[in-house]
């Protein structure tokens, strides 16, 4: 073939070997591409979903709360009800309980040991509340960036993490009239020996001071947490208005610490009314029963060698519970009135 023929052959339009595909109007129903896809979606149920499916958002919080509610019912509400019920019976813990009505409460009115325990609990309540302002003062001191502040925090945290038994032993040695540090200090300044735990007029105050040591540390931790949540904008605005010192503390800082104060108050009241371990370790209720409180006297009457009087001990427990409830209800009412007046 000549060269000119080859060029002409290459430059001509190539032949279409594939036929034109028919358009949609010319396709028959048997064309594979025209077969519609099968519907793969799940069929909708004609019936309504189940009750749990409809209410699962409302049920989820209840299911999470259920274990806590059950624990609260079995370990708080039921023992309280059982104590109220048992206080109307005479029972030694072994035989059949005998219903006596309010006889146990009538006997409490003439019980000299119960009267002493009540007065000692009143002292605990009043003096133990000193842990709240003391904890606030220490928290304000520790809530700053100065050299060695971590060491100071560790020293103040220490009483909170040790056992009440250890606290009782430490202060028993501290008050010891022969080798105790307290009498060593008094002797250095020329004072005589002071037997704190052996004096009926001083023993309760000595134990309260021992209890204030770890309780102040607990309140300090609560207030340190609360101080981290104080609004800095309010503090800065108060500074621009000229507030400083005690005015800044009372009108700006303390109102923002109300949740921490509430928890500190409730925990301190409960701690004052259940002050059993320190008394048991330091004096065992002595001397001559002068350091008893209601919780310790309840133990003596119900479970110790003085006689298994379960009904009488339950009556003491009911009185203790009502005192605690009265204080906490009063504080809750006061907070409610403040919140209501601020709206």
From the list 263, 156, 161, the residue with the least C-alpha distance to 216 is 156
- Is the residue at 306 inside a domain? yes
- Is the residue at 78 inside a domain? no
- The two structure tokens encoding residue 245: 């010192």
In total, how many domains does the chain have?
Answer: 1
- Determine the Cα–Cα distance for residues 146 and 281; give it in Å rounded to an integer: 39
- Least confident span in 38-52, 217-231, 265-279: 38-52
Residue 116's domain comprises: 89-342
Q: Judge contact between 162 and 201, C-beta under 8 A.
A: no
Section 60-79 average pLDDT: 91
Section 63-72 average pLDDT: 92
- Is the residue at 83 inside a domain? no
Q: How many CA atoms lie within 13 A of 156 on its CB side?
A: 24
Please write the tens of the pLDDT for every residue from 106-151: 999 999 999 999 999 999 999 999 999 999 999 998 888 877 788 8
Please write the tens of the pLDDT for every residue from 166-182: 999 999 999 999 999 99
- Is the residue at 80 inside a domain? no
From the list 99, 75, 96, 77, the residue with the least C-alpha distance to 88 is 99
Please write the tens of the pLDDT for every residue from 38-48: 444 544 444 44
| CB neighbour list of residue 278: distance below 8 Å, 6 or more residues apart | 164, 167, 168, 207, 210, 211
- Is the residue at 133 inside a domain? yes
Q: What is the torsional sign of CA 257, 334, 323, 137?
A: positive
Q: Which residue has the higher pLDDT, 152 or 189?
A: 189
Domain CATH for 162: 1.10.3720.10
């Amino acid at each position: 073939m000549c060269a000119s023929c080859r060029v002409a052959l290459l430059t001509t339009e190539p032949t279409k070997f594939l036929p034109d595909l028919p358009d949609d109007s010319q396709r028959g129903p048997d064309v594979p591409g025209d077969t519609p896809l099968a519907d793969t979606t799940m069929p909708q149920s004609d019936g309504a979903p189940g009750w749990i499916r409809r209410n699962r958002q409302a049920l989820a919080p209840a299911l999470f709360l259920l274990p806590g509610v059950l624990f609260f019912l079995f370990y708080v509400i039921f023992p309280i009800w059982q104590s109220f019920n048992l206080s109307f019976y005479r029972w030694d813990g072994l035989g059949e309980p005998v219903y006596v009505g309010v006889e146990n409460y009538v006997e409490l009115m003439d019980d000299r040991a119960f009267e002493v325990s009540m007065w000692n609990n009143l002292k605990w309540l009043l003096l133990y509340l000193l842990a709240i302002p003391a904890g606030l003062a220490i928290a304000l001191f520790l809530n700053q960036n100065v050299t060695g502040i971590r060491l100071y925090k560790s020293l103040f945290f220490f009483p909170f993490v040790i056992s009440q038994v250890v606290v009782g032993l430490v202060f028993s040695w501290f008050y010891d009239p022969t080798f105790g540090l307290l009498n060593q200090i008094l002797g250095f300044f020329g004072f005589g020996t002071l037997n704190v735990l052996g004096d009926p007029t001083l023993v309760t105050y000595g134990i309260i001071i021992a209890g204030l040591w770890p309780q102040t540390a607990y309140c300090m931790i609560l207030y340190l947490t609360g101080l981290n949540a104080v609004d800095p904008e309010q503090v800065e605005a108060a500074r621009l208005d000229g507030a400083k010192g005690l005015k800044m503390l009372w009108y700006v800082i303390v109102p923002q610490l109300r949740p921490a104060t509430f928890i500190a108050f409730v925990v301190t009241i409960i701690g004052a009314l259940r002050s059993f371990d320190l008394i048991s370790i330091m004096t065992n209720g002595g001397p001559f029963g002068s350091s008893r409180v209601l919780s310790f006297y309840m133990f003596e009457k119900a479970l110790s060698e003085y006689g298994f009087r379960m009904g009488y001990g339950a009556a003491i427990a009911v009185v203790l519970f009502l005192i605690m409830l009265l204080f906490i209800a009063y504080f809750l009412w006061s907070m409610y009135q403040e919140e209501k007046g601020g709206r």
